[in-house]
Amino acid sequence: MNQRLFVKGNEAVAMGAIEAGCRYYFGYPITPQSDIPEYMSRELPRREGQFIQAESEIASINMLLGASACGARAMTSSSSPGISLKQEGLSYMAGSELPGLIVNICRSGPGLGGIDASQADYFQAVKGGGHGGYHLIVLAPHSVQEMYDLTMLAFDLSDRYRIPAMLLGDSVVGQMKEALLPHSYVRPDDLPTKDWAVSGKGERKEQNIVKSLYLGDGELEAHNWRLHGKYQALREREVRFESVCLEDADLIVTAFGSAARIAKTAIRMAREKGLKVGLIRPITLFPFPEKVFRQATASTRRVLCIELNNGQMVEDVRLSVSRDAEVFFYGRPPGAGSLPTPEELCEQISRYCGEGS
């Protein structure tokens, strides 16, 4: 500990998970996230944990459901096509109020698509994805350090609210190597005990039941309102974001994950040219930093949303900004050779900053 390491983003996720007490991993191989199961298969047996390479993503999410129902810290990871298969289990976990970590190191789609970095799974991640109307807690790291730190945070938030958490990365943050300063995990003291978990009745009077079926009159509506209340609490209490140079900005750039890394370089270039541009980087995609956008656009009326897709988060930005703010979009649907360069983004920034005006 406290020694700087040079590791891959995917490894940082696995290291963070183990440090946070995760001892159960269930997954199925897919590029570009296979470093995570490989790391777990090596490390978990040494810690009396369990690693299972399941027969499919469907099986692995359901193994996670089972382990989580027992109160254990457990996780799965995959990439876009695999996450599609996990949607059934995610909906059931959301309905059963089960915590758990799901890592999506996104690749390009739709369909088999390609293996390049993509942010085209934004809708799927933040709008539910599976059936029934639910939310996951969605965190979007943009560095190797955040892959580590946000993995820990994801477990904590997930346990505290009994909502499954998704770490939404992509092949850039998953595959790149940079410095990581590992640190020991400190359990927040407000985490509730899992007295709802199944363990065998033992001496308990009442059985514990983990389920998502509610057939009684009004039961399911009440259940859904309760879930809704938790989503509202997340919106009130758990928004995380990074902001840069908003005070004097004529233009706010917004981007998450790897797009934000490229945007940060572009913003530096633009500042060097004298352009007044700032950044809002949502770290929680659900809950989305709505108020942050509303407040920031009370004075700065122009927002440029940059994404590695053809426009998804921009919809949430539009819903969040103050009334008369203008929202512009620049994105590139992913695929080999489609990653925007800092120069390209700087040009867009100049355009909307009204260079020379």
Partner 1 sequence: MTESLQVFSRPRALKDVPTHFCPGCQHGTTHRLVAEVIDSLDLQGRTIGVASVGCSVFLYGYFDVDVVEAPHGRAPAVATGVKRVHRDRIVFTYQGDGDLAAIGTSEIIHAANRGEQLTVIFVNNTTYGMTGGQMAPTSLPQQKTTTSPYGRDVASDGHPIRMAELLAGLEGTSYVARVAVNTPGNIIQAGKAIRKAFEVQVRGEGFSFVEVLSTCPTNWGMSPLSANERVAAEMIPYFALGTFKDRQTAG
Residues lying near partner 1 in the complex (CB under 8 A): 24, 26, 50, 52, 54-56, 58-60, 62-72, 74, 88-89, 92, 96, 198-203, 207-213
Choice between 49 and 334, CB closer to partner 1 = 49
Choice between 63 and 267, CB closer to partner 1 = 63
Of 75, 78, 88, 81, nearest to 128 by C-alpha is 88
330 by DSSP, 3-state: which? strand
Of 104, 121, 173, nearest to 334 by C-alpha is 121
**Structure-token pair, residue 225:** 């309102």
C-alpha span between 307 and 254 (Å, rounded) = 9
Choice between 216 and 356, CB closer to partner 1 = 216
**CA separation, residue 319 to residues 16, 166, 253, 325, 335 (Å):** 34, 22, 16, 11, 28
CB of 186 to partner 1, least distance (A): 24
CB of 106 to partner 1, least distance (A): 24
CB of 55 to partner 1, least distance (A): 4
C-alpha span between 308 and 106 (Å, rounded) = 11
CB of 60 to partner 1, least distance (A): 8
**CA separation, residue 271 to residues 83, 222, 346 (Å):** 39, 51, 10
Choice between 55 and 272, CB closer to partner 1 = 55
Choice between 61 and 279, CB closer to partner 1 = 61
Choice between 51 and 122, CB closer to partner 1 = 51
State how beta strands 284-286 and 326-331 pair.
unpaired
Choice between 25 and 329, CB closer to partner 1 = 25
C-alpha span between 71 and 100 (Å, rounded) = 9
**Structure-token pair, residue 335:** 């695929």
CB-CB contact of 235 with 287 (8 Å): yes
C-alpha span between 204 and 218 (Å, rounded) = 28
CB of 203 to partner 1, least distance (A): 7
CB of 71 to partner 1, least distance (A): 8
Of 151, 155, 146, 140, nearest to 179 by C-alpha is 146
CB of 97 to partner 1, least distance (A): 12
CB of 253 to partner 1, least distance (A): 41
Compute the CA torsion angle 337, 342, 343, 348 (nearest 10 deg): 100
Choice between 58 and 245, CB closer to partner 1 = 58
